[in-house]
Amino acid sequence: MSKQSTLNMTNNNLTSVSEFILVGFTDCPEWEIPLFLVFLSIYCITVLGNMGMVILIQVDVQLHIPMYFFLSHLSLMDVCYTTVITPQILATLATGKTVITYNQCAVQFFFFTFCASTECFLLAVMAYDRYVAISNPLLYTVAMSPRKCWSLVVGAYVCGLSGSIQRTTCTFSLSFCEDNMINFFFCDLPPLLKLACSDTTNAEIVIVLFGNFVILVNAVIILISYLLIIKTIMRIKSSGGRSKTFSTCVSHLIAVVLFFGTLTFMYIRSGSGKSIEEDKIVSVFYTVIIPMLNPLIYSLRNKDVKVAFRKATKRLQVSQSG
């Protein structure tokens, strides 16, 4: 009998898990309540900030341009992104550890991957939008017509969805046996692969190659867009004009560096020297902290958003006093 046949028979005889246990962050009970309050505060700020940005863009006519159209979808994705993860963190901190069923784990993994992939594509679309706006400002609204904007956004969602289906299918086609303790705070790829009792070689190749492909392709699109932006800016004669033009890209550039930097550190770096505690910290940063920071980054560095916010606040005050 071949070695592969023996392995298959062994795997078939093992009991498949019906649930996983998420260990979470800390074994110290005294840290659970403070961490719970911190993550709850961050979640509330994230939802209020991003949904506030979406509503502000919808109600203010001055923000009805392609740049803010894409920003509203980024904010919406940030809300979905953190909602997939943060409630699970809160439940784990409240109970010390959380039991999650196999199907719930698969659903969480699917939506997490969908949100992460879609956000990558949206950031690339926003970089392209900035290039069009700077290279041809007079024809910007014509070049980025509503139909083209919707096509780019739908394309980002479709690409994110297809990638999520592929990664989820490959991950949960693996066998998970008696060991069901996930030393993590949500169902992410690295801890799931460690629990698999079947051969993960082929699945890892497909999953890692596709994940790296998504990150690298979008990173290249962003890099090319910014190289062309810099080339265009260098043609502007006045230093004040160059500074003013580049300032329209700063918020997006900060968001790109934060998001792609943490994704690269988490998934593309070598496996040697990696620790699960280090992965937890990095994961918290891009799943919880960055979605909270994005609306702050775009509002604090954007005059149009600040003006729209002041106008909305005045209208609210007038309606309340009336």
Rounded Cα distance, 139 and 147, in Å: 15
Calculate ∠ Cα 289-21-160, nearest 5°: 50
- In whole angstroms, give the CA distance from residue 99 to residue 86: 15
Q: Would you place residue 27 in the very low, low, confident or very high pLDDT band (cuts 50, 70, 90)?
A: low
- Domain ranges, ordered by start, for the chain: 16-306
Q: Which of 168, 171, 244 is nearest to 204 (CA)?
A: 171
Least confident range from 61-65, 113-117, 125-129: namely 61-65
Are the C-beta atoms of 274 and 233 separated by less than 8 Å? no
Backbone angles phi, psi at 24, to 5 degrees: 95, -145
Per-residue pLDDT, 158: 96
By the 8 A CB rule, do 263 and 212 touch? no
H/E element holding 20?
Answer: strand 19-22
pLDDT attached to residue 267:
67
What is the Cα–Cα distance from 233 to 133, expressed in whole angstroms?
12
Nearest CA to 163 out of 185, 189, 126, 128 is that of 189
The two three-digit tokens of residue 272, written as one number: 């040697």
- So what's the pLDDT on residue 45? 94
Between helices 66-95 and 32-59, what is the axis angle to 10°?
Answer: 160
DSSP state of 176: B
First to last CA, the chain: 85
- Tell me how far apart the alpha carbons of residues 290 and 60 are, in angstroms, rounded to a whole number: 25
What distance in Å separates the CA atoms of residue 11 and residue 197, rounded to the nearest whole number? 7
For 251-278, the DSSP string reads HHHHHHHHHHHHHIIIIIS-STT--HHH
Neighbours of 241 (CB within 10 A): 11
Question: Is residue 100 helix, strand or coil?
Answer: strand
The answer to whether 99 and 20 have CB atoms below 8 angstroms apart is yes
Token pair listed for 23: 């260990």
At the fourth CATH level, which superfamily is domain 16-306? Rhodopsin 7-helix transmembrane proteins (1.20.1070.10)
Q: What percent of the chain has pLDDT over 90?
A: 32
Distance CA 228, CA 121 (A): 19
pLDDT of residue 265: 76
Are 280 and 23 in contact by the 8 Å Cβ rule? The answer is: no
The first and second tokens of residue 262, run together, are 């943490």
Global pTM exceeds 0.85: yes
Over residues 146-177, the pLDDT tens digits come to 999 999 999 999 999 999 998 899 888 888 88
Residue 301's pLDDT is 66
pLDDT of residue 5: 43
- Given this model, what pLDDT does residue 79 score? 94
Contacts of 147 (CB under 8 A, 6+ apart): none
Mean pLDDT over each residue of the chain, to the nearest integer:
83
Q: Which residues contact 7 (CB under 8 A, 6 or more apart)?
A: 199
pLDDT at position 61: 84
pLDDT at 102 over 50: yes
Closest CA to 267 of 303, 230, 215: 215
Compute the distance between CA of residue 154 and CA of residue 122 in angstroms, rounded to an integer: 10
- How confident is the model at residue 271, as a pLDDT? 52
